[in-house]
Amino acid sequence: MAERAALEELVRLQGERVRGLKQQKASAEQIEEEVAKLLKLKAQLGPDEGKQKFVLKTPKGTRDYSPRQMAVREKVFDVIISCFKRHGAEVIDTPVFELKETLTGKYGEDSKLIYDLKDQGGELLSLRYDLTVPFARYLAMNKLTNIKRYHIAKVYRRDNPAMTRGRYREFYQCDFDIAGQFDPMIPDAECLKIMCEILSSLQIGDFLVKVNDRRILDGMFAICGVPDSKFRTICSSVDKLDKVSWEEVKNEMVGEKGLAPEVADRIGDYVQQHGGVSLVEQLLQDPELSQNKQALEGLGDLKLLFEYLILLGIADKISFDLSLARGLDYYTGVIYEAVLLQSPAQAGEEPLGVGSVAAGGRYDGLVGMFDPKGRKVPCVGLSIGVERIFSIVEQRLEAELLYKKNPKLLNQLQYCEEAGIPLVAIIGEQELKDGVIKLRSVASREEVDIRREDLVEEIKRRTSEPLCTC
Amino acid sequence: MWGKGGRLVERRTAGWIEEEVAKLLKLKAQLGPDEGKQKFVLKTPKGTRDYSPRQMAVREKVFDVIISCFKRHGAEVIDTPVFELKETLTGKYGEDSKLIYDLKDQGGELLSLRYDLTVPFARYLAMNKLTNIKRYHIAKVYRRDNPAMTRGRYREFYQCDFDIAGQFDPMIPDAECLKIMCEILSSLQIGDFLVKVNDRRILDGMFAICGVPDSKFRTICSSVDKLDKVSWEEVKNEMVGEKGLAPEVADRIGDYVQQHGGVSLVEQLLQDPELSQNKQALEGLGDLKLLFEYLILLGIADKISFDLSLARGLDYYTGVIYEAVLLQSPAQAGEEPLGVGSVAAGGRYDGLVGMFDPKGRKVPCVGLSIGVERIFSIVEQRLEALEEKVRTTETQVLVASAQKKLLEERLKLVSELWDAGIKAELLYKKNPKLLNQLQYCEEAGIPLVAIIGEQELKDGVIKLRSVASREEVDIRREDLVEEIKRRTSEPLCTC
C-alpha cells in the first residue's frame, strides 16, 4: 500500500513537472522526455480497476449544461436555426471523430491542439477540431458540387488553459456554408446578410462587421516589401491592431520579427484605414496597390460585394478594415468578422478573439485537397461563436429574474412559481362530487370552477392567448 | 546498354531491379516524411456515418415527437460533455468495459468517450448534490463494438433518455415512465408494440428458490434472456450443457420463465407456495401489483405484459425493468442496440448515484431509453414506401426573374422578404434562365415563385406563380408578403 502511495506521489510530482515545462514553453524534446517518464510511472501503477475514486468533475475545459443553461441555449439556437432555414439551408451532421489522416495537415500550427483517440488496435482517430474540414470531406466523399448547408455541433481543442483563461476545450460552433461555382460575390453577400440578421435578432447589442480580403493583404504586403517568408508572422502582428496600438504592433514587427522599419511604416499607412465602399474606390486608385494584380482582384470583388450589401440593406453595418488578418490558413478571398460594439465584461469562451462573435470567409482550395483528382469546389461560409453569446444572454436573463415567496402557498403552488407553470388544476372532494375542477391562475391567483368536460378546452384557450394571460 | 539503331536495350535481372528499387527508396527518403503527401481519405470512421439532409429530416421528425412527449411530462433537459474522466466510467459497465473508447494520454487527464447517458447522469446528480430531478437527455454515445459479431452495429449512435431521480412514494414515477414509453411509441406510428415488464428482485428470488448458485446468477440470466429469440429447449441446453446447471434446476426455472400475462399472473405468483416464501420476490411482486393498478388508471395496461423471461442488462437495475418490442418486425439492416425487435428499455436503479457520492448517499432513480437509431430506419423505410417526398428545406418562395439584368431587383426583393420573416431563396446567377429557376423549385419542393419582370416593375406588381398548378397572378408589391404568408399557412398548403 505504502509502495503504491509513494508511486502515486511520484506520478503527481512528475505531472507537475510536465505542466511547469509546458508553461515555461520548454523545448518540445524536453517536454516529450518528461511526458515519457510520466507515462512510464503511470504504467507501473497498473490499471485503476475497482478502485472507487469519487470523481465529481467534468474533464478540464468542459462543462455540463444545467436546465437553465439549456433554456438559454435553446433560445439562441432557435434564432440561429430559423435564420439559416429562412435562407434555404439544409442541415447535416457528421461523426464526432474523423480518421486522423483527414485532419492532418489542415490546421498548421494549431494541429498540436487536436485530441487524439488512443490506438486501441483499429483506425487512428481524432476528435473534430472544427466543422469546416468535415464539411470538405463530406463534399468530396459524396461528390457534391454544390450545397447550402448548416451544421451545429461541438468541436474539440486542447487549448492550454494557462495561456487563454476561460477557454473551453469542448464548445459549440454554428456553421453555415455555400459550396459551388456561382457568379461572384452573391453567396458571399448572403453570408454577410445572414450574419447581420442573426446578430440583430439575438438582441445582444450593436455590432460591426469588418471585411477584408486575403488577396488585398497579400498584395499590400508585397508592395510594402514584406519578404514572403515573413508573410504569416507579419499577418498575426497586424491582426492585433484591434486590441493594441499601432506603436505596439510596429515594435513587435520591427523589434521581434525583424521587419525593416520603412516596410513597417508603409504597412502602417494602409492597415490603419477602414471605411465603406469609398475606401475601396480610393484604394483602387492607389498608385502602388493598383499595380498589384492580386490586390486589384480583391478590391474589385469587394466593390461588387458592397454593391450587393447596399441592395441587401446592411451596408451600414459593414466596415472595410485593412487590419483584419486573422485565421488565414485556408481562406482564399473575402474574410469577415463581426464584433460587438459594447463589450460587456464576462468570463467565458472567446473562440474568436476579444469582442468577436462571428467570423468567416471564402475558401476555394479546401475541398480540392480531398478530391483524388484535385477537383475544386469553391466555398464561402460563416461560423457563429455561440459560447460567447450564451454568456451574454444568460447575464441578460439573470438581471430580469424576480423572486417571489409567499409562505402561505402550498408546496404545489410554490413549485408552479419556480417552474413558471401558469395554471393549476386543483382536485377537491367537494368538486369531485360536483363534477368540477378548480382552475387557478398562478399569476393572478384567481380561481374558478370549470366543469370537468370543459377543462381541456379551457386550458387550451388560456394557454394559446398571445401574452398568455392565464 | 545501347543496341542496334541506337535504341536503349534493357537487361532485366533481379539484381538490376533491386538496385533501381534501392535508388527509388533513397530518393523517397530524401522527400522526407509524408507531410505533403495527400492521402485521399474519403470515409467516416468504422461504425460511424454522416447524416445527409434527408436523414436529418427524418431525425428531426422523430426527435420532435420524443421531445414534445418528454416536455409534456414536465421534464427539464441537460447536456454533458462527450467525454468523462476515465475514472468516472471505470467499474460501471462490467464486461462491456472493453467496449469503451479511450482518448490518447497526451499528458493531461485520462479521458473516455461516454458509453451511455445514465452514468453521466448519476455523476451530474452527485456533483450538484441534487436529490430530485426529472430530466431528459438526447445525445450520441460511443461503443467499440466488434463488427464481426454484431453486423450493422453502429459505434456512434443516439440515445434518448428520460429519468426521474428522487425519493418518492412507490411506483408512481415508474408508472409515468411506462406511460411516456407508450405515448412515444404510439405517436411515432411505427406499428403495434408490447411492453414487457419484470423485476430484478423477482428474478433473484426465482433463481434462489430454483436452486441456482449465486455465482451462476448472471450467466443464467443472460441465457434466460434469450427466450425472446430462441426456444426453451435451446435455452435449457445452454444452461445445462454449457453453463453446468443441474437439469432439475433448469426445469424449475422453465416452469416460471415461460410465463407471461397481466396483473392476474402477478396475483397468481403471489400465491405461489415457493415464491411467496422468498422475501425479495415478494417485494418485487408487491411493487408490480401496485404498478399495474397505476397502469390501469393511466390507460395503458393493455399494452403491458408481465414477462418472467425479461432479464437483460441487469448491471445497475435494482427493481422494475421493462422493454418495448415491436410486434411486426420489419426486416432491416441497421443498429439494434436493444436486441431484436426492441425499441426502448429501462428500469429502476437505486444504487448508482450512491457510487458517486463520497458519503454513499443514495438517490433512487427510474428511467427509460428510446432506441432511436432503429426507429430512424423504420421511419425512413416508411417514408420511402409511401413515396412521400421529404423536403430538406423549408423555403416558401424563390425570387426569380425572366429577363436579364434584374439581379439588383432580385436582391432587393429577397431582402425585403427575409426582413419580413419569409423563407426565400434566389439563384446565385446574374442572369439565370426562368426554366432553370423553375426546375430548382421542383427539385427542392419550393411551392411559390415571385417573378420580377421589367413591365411588372413599372406597374408596381410581382408575378406570383404556383409551382404545382403553374398558375400565375399579379400581386401588388406592397401586398406580396401578406399574400405569401396567407398561401403558405393553409393546412394543405394549396399554394
> Given CB atoms, is A115 within the 8 Å cutoff of chain B?
yes
Q: Who among B40, B83, B426 is closest to A370 (CB)? A: B40
Going by the DSSP 8-state scheme, the letter that residue B258 receives in this structure is T
pLDDT confidence of residue B368: 97
Instruction: Find the farthest-apart pair of alpha carbons in chain B and give their distance in angstroms, rounded.
Output: 108
Q: Average model confidence (pLDDT) for chain A?
A: 87
Which stretch of DSSP H or E encloses residue B140? Answer: strand B133-142
Q: Is the pLDDT of residue A38 over 90?
A: no
Q: How many CB pairs under 8 A join A and B?
A: 214
Q: Within the 121-160 window of chain A, which residues sit less than 8 Å (CB to CB) from chain B?
A: 122-123, 125, 127, 137-138, 140-142, 149, 154, 156, 158
pLDDT band at B152 (very low <50, low <70, confident <90, very high): low
Cα–Cα dist B417/A197, whole Å: 12
Mean pLDDT to the nearest integer, B116-138: 95
**A344 to chain B, closest Cα gap in Å:** 26
Q: B287, B319 in Cβ contact below 8 A?
A: yes
* Distance separating alpha carbons of residues B368 and B65, to the nearest angstrom: 16
Which residues of chain B lie closer than 8 angstroms to A419, CB-CB?
74
Q: Is B420 on the interface with A (CB under 8 A)?
A: no
Contact B351, B232 (CB under 8 A): no
User: Is the model more confident about B114 or about A430?
Assistant: B114
User: Residue A426: pLDDT above 90?
Assistant: no
pLDDT in tens, B356-403: 988 888 999 999 999 999 899 889 888 888 877 889 999 999 999 999
CA-nearest of A9, A59, A53 to B102 is A59
Q: What is the C-alpha separation between B373 and B68, in angstroms, rounded? A: 18
pLDDT at A470: 57
Max CA separation in chain A (angstroms):
95
Percent of chain B's residues with pLDDT above 90: 74
Q: Report the pLDDT value the prediction gives residue A25, as an integer from 0 to 100.
A: 76
Decide if the complex's ipTM is over 0.90.
no
pLDDT of A8 higher than 80: no
**CB B154 within 8 Å of CB B377:** no
Would the pLDDT of A53 be above 90?
no
- pLDDT at residue number A401: 58
- H or E segment at B336? none
Residue A13's pLDDT band (cuts 50, 70, 90): confident
A371 annotated as a binding-site residue: no
Pair B197, B310: CB distance under 8 Å: yes
Comparison of pLDDT for A467 and A188, the residue scoring more: A188
CA distances from A10 to A4, A17, A42, A49 (A): 10, 10, 9, 20
Contact A96 B82 (CB under 8 A): yes
pLDDT score at B156: 96
Given this model, what pLDDT does residue A161 score?
59
B308 is in an annotated binding site: no
CB burial class (10 A; 0-12, 13-18, 19+) of residue A338? Answer: buried
Name which of B108, B144, B411 is nearest A120 (Cβ-Cβ).
B144
Nine-digit cell string for A150: 448548416
Say how far apart CA A346 and CA A393 lie, in whole Å: 11
Helices (H), B82-198: 86-89, 118-127, 172-188
Find the residue in B nearest to A17 (Cα): B107
- Among B53, B82, B107, whose Cβ lies nearest the Cβ of A18? B107
Query: Which of B82, B88, B419 faces A170 most closely, judged by CB atoms?
Result: B82
A411 touches chain B (CB under 8 A): no
Grid look-up 426569380 returns B400
Average pLDDT value for chain B = 89
Q: What's the rounded Cα separation, in Å, for the pair A318 and A305? A: 11
A contact test, residue of B34, B38, B109 with most A CBs within 10 A: B38
Is residue A50 classed exposed, middle or buried when 0-12, 13-18 and 19+ CB atoms within 10 A define those classes? exposed
| Reported pTM | 0.82
Q: Which residues pair with A436 in a beta bridge?
A: A451
Structure confidence at residue A343 (pLDDT): 56
